């Protein structure tokens, strides 16, 4: 994550322990990335990354991935999905003429075997959850197979607390070489291991996200969830600024008190700054005796610097 020190662009801290500012940006993220899978020749194993994926792809797809030569333009279908899938839950909707009448759809808790059932499932999600669908990439992964990666954020409007549900994963789209239309759609969620229908693990993942919970009403940097697993999330953050100081140990409060005191008015202008989340703590040695503590500044501080 690239960073630029802004120590002289915002009010100076009091003398003593040093506090500085750092601009955090993800314009050119490094480290974690989610590249699309590559397709080479007729290697069917590249279409799916696990034995579970392979089993589902072979069982549900009616497509032989090594059929006689066909005139289907797979690159054109990839471009079509880039244009069509963003309309999955809006008023325009997807182009149903691109799918076989007997298209097979499976995700961990839902299955349909016709275009009618497929569109019914989309409509049900649209009406109950108000989904926001984000398409990350589309890639050919077999002679008659295309894989997509996506994020879907939903709010269950029937519950008073309107819980937010987040799912990320991949979809394997099978193409019928006889018609040039999509004949299967298999979803795999990042948050569970058992993606077979019917997955109790998948159902529990949904129920867990419906629980009542309340987060502090504090400003936080804007971000997009690229991948959500059972244990962690991969996020892409918009640029933000932090106030930072050093601490003497990971469990100590000295460093935190310094940066907290700064936002509570112990700065050169005696300005009180609203609280935000999160607080970042980073250790620099194995003993965790030298740490960096950062508190995110509100967005308007960046705009007025």
Indicate if 199 and 292 belong to the same structural domain.
Answer: no
Tell me the pLDDT tens digit for each residue of 205-251. 999 999 998 778 899 999 999 999 999 999 999 999 998 988 776 66
Q: Bigger pLDDT: 98 or 15?
A: 98
Indicate whether 254 belongs to any domain.
Answer: yes
pLDDT at 5: 39
In which residue are the tokens 């993606």 written?
195
Task: List residues bridging with 25 in a β-sheet.
Answer: 2
Q: Does residue 120 register a pLDDT over 80?
A: yes
Pair of tokens at residue 98: 């691109």
Indicate if 60 and 200 belong to the same structural domain.
Answer: yes
Tell me the pLDDT tens digit for each residue of 248-276. 766 656 678 888 888 899 888 888 999 99
Q: pLDDT band at residue 18, thresholds of 50, 70 and 90?
A: low
**DSSP H or E stretch at residue 256:** helix 254-263
In the chain, % of residues over pLDDT 70: 73
Helix, strand or coil, per DSSP, at residue 129: helix
- Nearest alpha-carbon partner for 149 in 172, 122, 169, 175: 169
Indicate if 23 and 79 belong to the same structural domain.
Answer: no
Phi, psi of 13 (to 5 degrees): -80, 170
pLDDT at 62: 47
pLDDT at 305: 43
**DSSP H or E stretch at residue 303:** helix 299-303
Indicate whether 150 belongs to any domain.
Answer: yes
Q: Are 288 and 249 within 8 A, CB to CB?
A: yes
Q: Are 240 and 296 within 8 A, CB to CB?
A: yes
Indicate if 56 and 199 belong to the same structural domain.
Answer: yes
DSSP 13-38: PPSSS-EEEEEEE-SS--S---PPPP
- Nearest alpha-carbon partner for 291 in 300, 280, 299: 280
Residue 295 lies in domain: 2-27+239-303
CATH no. for residue 176? Answer: 3.10.450.50
- Nearest alpha-carbon partner for 285 in 251, 249, 259: 249
Indicate if 132 and 251 belong to the same structural domain.
Answer: no
Pair of tokens at residue 294: 């950062």
Indicate whether 82 belongs to any domain.
Answer: yes
Indicate whether 204 belongs to any domain.
Answer: yes
Indicate if 8 and 56 belong to the same structural domain.
Answer: no
Indicate whether 37 belongs to any domain.
Answer: no
The 3-class secondary structure across 141-200, one letter per residue, is: EECCEEEEEEEEEEECCCCCCCCEEEEEEEEEEEEECCCCEEEEEEEEECCCCCCCCCCH
pLDDT at 253: 64
Count up the domains in the chain and report the number: 2
Tell me the pLDDT tens digit for each residue of 149-201. 999 999 999 999 999 999 999 999 999 999 999 999 999 999 999 999 999 99
Predicted structure pTM score: 0.78
Indicate if 202 and 261 belong to the same structural domain.
Answer: no
Indicate if 48 and 191 belong to the same structural domain.
Answer: yes
Indicate if 21 and 99 belong to the same structural domain.
Answer: no
Helix, strand or coil, per DSSP, at residue 283: strand
Task: Mark out the alpha helices in 9-138 (DSSP H runs).
Answer: 51-60, 74-84, 115-129
Indicate if 176 and 104 belong to the same structural domain.
Answer: yes
């Amino acid at each position: 994550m690239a960073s630029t020190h802004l120590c002289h662009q915002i009010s100076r801290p009091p003398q003593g322990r040093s506090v500085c500012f750092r601009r955090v940006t993800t314009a050119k993220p490094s480290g974690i990335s989610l590249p699309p899978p590559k397709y080479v020749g007729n290697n069917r194993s590249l279409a799916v990354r696990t034995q579970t994926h392979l089993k589902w792809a072979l069982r549900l797809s009616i497509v032989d991935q090594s059929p006689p030569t066909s005139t289907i333009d797979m690159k054109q279908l990839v471009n079509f999905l880039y244009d069509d899938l963003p309309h999955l839950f809006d008023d325009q909707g997807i182009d149903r003429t691109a799918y076989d009448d007997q298209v097979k759809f499976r995700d961990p808790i839902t299955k349909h075997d016709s275009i009618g059932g497929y569109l019914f499932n989309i409509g049900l999600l649209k009406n109950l959850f108000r989904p926001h669908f984000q398409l990350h990439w589309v890639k050919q992964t077999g002679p008659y197979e295309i894989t997509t990666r996506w994020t879907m954020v939903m709010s269950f409007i029937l519950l008073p607390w309107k819980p937010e549900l987040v799912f990320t994963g991949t979809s394997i789209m099978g193409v019928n070489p006889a018609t040039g239309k999509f004949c299967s759609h298999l979803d795999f969620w990042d948050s569970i291991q058992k993606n077979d229908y019917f997955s109790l693990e998948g159902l529990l993942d949904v129920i867990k996200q419906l629980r009542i919970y309340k987060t502090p009403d504090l400003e936080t940097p804007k971000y997009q969830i690229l991948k959500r697993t059972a244990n962690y999330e991969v996020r892409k953050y918009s640029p933000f600024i932090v106030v930072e100081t050093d601490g003497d140990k990971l469990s100590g409060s000295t460093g935190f008190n310094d940066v907290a005191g700064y936002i509570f008015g112990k700065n050169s202008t005696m300005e009180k700054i609203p609280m935000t989340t999160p607080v970042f703590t980073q250790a620099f040695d194995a003993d965790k005796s030298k740490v960096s503590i950062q508190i995110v500044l509100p967005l308007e501080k960046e705009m007025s610097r």
